[in-house]
Amino acid sequence: MSELAGTNKAASPGGRAIAGPRGRHMTIGPLEYGRRFWLRCFVAATFLLLYAPIFTLIIFSFNDSRRNIVWRGFTFKYYEKAWNNDGLFEAFTNSLTIAVLTTIIATVLGAMVALLLWRYRFPGKPAYEGFMALPIVIPEICMGVAMLAFFSRIGWPSGMPWPLNLSAITIAHIAFTFPFVAIVVRARMAGFNRELEEASKDLGASEWQTFMNVIVPFMRPGLIAGALLAFTLSLDDFVITFFTAGPETVTFPVKVYSMVRFSVTPEVNAASTALIVITVLATIVAMRFQTPDKTEAT
């Protein structure tokens, strides 16, 4: 009897806490991870680790000091300096030109490969699929050396006028970015309902009309994601570029690398910040193009 009373006594405060209007000790549900304290700390730590270096870089780009160690006050000086640094500016233009060309060609090429793999069955398809994805897994340094050997072996002309002098780098970039596009687009096409294609033809559309009106709109999110991937991969690639670049074709990452070898000035920070802004803007624009995904509901 007394034991029973004891249980009652113990249970009642707990019960009140759950039902109470203030809800101070509301029970956390098994899937409500967002309400667990330790998990919040973990998430915060992750974000800190990910973004602290980037924010430091941005903040120190405004540092009024030649040596980038101690904060000496706010200035735009180094942005001006970076802008007027002809070598840096040229490297930047080179990088953007290469990235844009690479994005366009790699996206078209990657989408075509993806369609080929999605649509057709042919002998040796699994082998082809594996070989196609090889540039993704091959170490970049090997790719770089291979590219260097390849271009010198076939005697690819160097010293051509701009922008033809960027052709070797651009070709190398296309070669290692298009598999990424292909994989992203291929994954997107896996969710395509073949009946959509059949319905289009049944309604009187030709093969080409079906492709343009039904398949491409479905593919678009994949195309945009793939293009974005190709763009950023090309823009910040160092290793492969380093091997394929000539003396007069310096790209931004290569230029920054050579500048850092002397000293890390806020000028490098400023240029890097500009690059981050461009990448983020490109991402935002791409996201804007991706209308809310309603293509799954068929």
Partner 1 sequence: MDQPIVSIENVAKHFGTVKAVDDVTFDIQPNEFFALLGPSGCGKTTLLRMIAGLEVPTGGAIVIDGQDMAATPPNHRPVNMVFQSYAVFPHMTVEENVAYGLKVTGTPRSEIGPRVTDALGMVQLAELAKRNPDQLSGGQRQRVALARALVKRPKVLLLDEPLSALDAKLREQMQLELSHLQQRVGITFIIVTHDQDEALSMADRIAVMNDGRVTQIAAPDTLYENPTTRFVADFIGKVNLLDGRVVGTEGERVAVEADRLGRITVPHEGDASGDVSLVVRPEKITLANTEPDGDVIKSQGKVTDWAYYGDTSHMFVTMDSGLVMSAKVQNTTRETVDNFDVGDTVWLSFSPSDVLLLRE
Closest CA to 174 of 240, 224, 252: 240
Q: Taking the complex as a whole, how short is the minimal distance between the CB of residue 297 and partner 1, in angstroms? A: 4
Distance CA 46, CA 267 (A): 29
89 binds partner 1 (CB under 8 A): no
Q: Using CB under 8 A, which of 30, 124, 204, 247 touches partner 1?
A: 204
Give 53-59 contacts, CB < 8 A, sequence gap 24+. Answer: 54/276, 57/269, 57/272, 57/273, 57/276, 58/269, 58/273, 58/276
CB 18 within 8 A of CB 25: yes
Q: Using CB under 8 A, which of 61, 102, 107, 200 touches partner 1?
A: 200
Rg, the chain, Cα only:
27
46 binds partner 1 (CB under 8 A): no
106 binds partner 1 (CB under 8 A): no
Closest CA to 174 of 251, 115, 128, 241: 241
27 binds partner 1 (CB under 8 A): no
Q: Using CB under 8 A, which of 195, 260, 277, 280 touches partner 1?
A: 195
Q: Taking the complex as a whole, how short is the minimal distance between the CB of residue 197 and partner 1, in angstroms? A: 9
Q: Which is nearer to partner 1, 86 or 296 (CB)?
A: 296
Q: What are phi and psi of 196, to 5 degrees?
A: -65, -45
Distance CA 283, CA 286 (A): 5
298 binds partner 1 (CB under 8 A): yes
Residue 146 burial by Cβ neighbours in a 10 Å radius (0-12, 13-18, 19+): middle
Q: Which is nearer to partner 1, 179 or 222 (CB)?
A: 222
Q: Taking the complex as a whole, how short is the minimal distance between the CB of residue 283 and partner 1, in angstroms? A: 22
Applying CB under 8 A, the span of 45-53, 92-100, 188-196, 279-287 interacting with partner 1 comes to 188-196
Q: Which is nearer to partner 1, 187 or 282 (CB)?
A: 187
32 binds partner 1 (CB under 8 A): no
Q: What is the DSSP letter of 26?
A: P
201 binds partner 1 (CB under 8 A): yes
- Positions 217 through 276 that interact with partner 1 (CB under 8 A): 217-218
Please report, as ranges, the residues that interact with partner 1 according to CB under 8 A.
Answer: 193, 195-196, 198-206, 209, 213-214, 217-218, 294-298
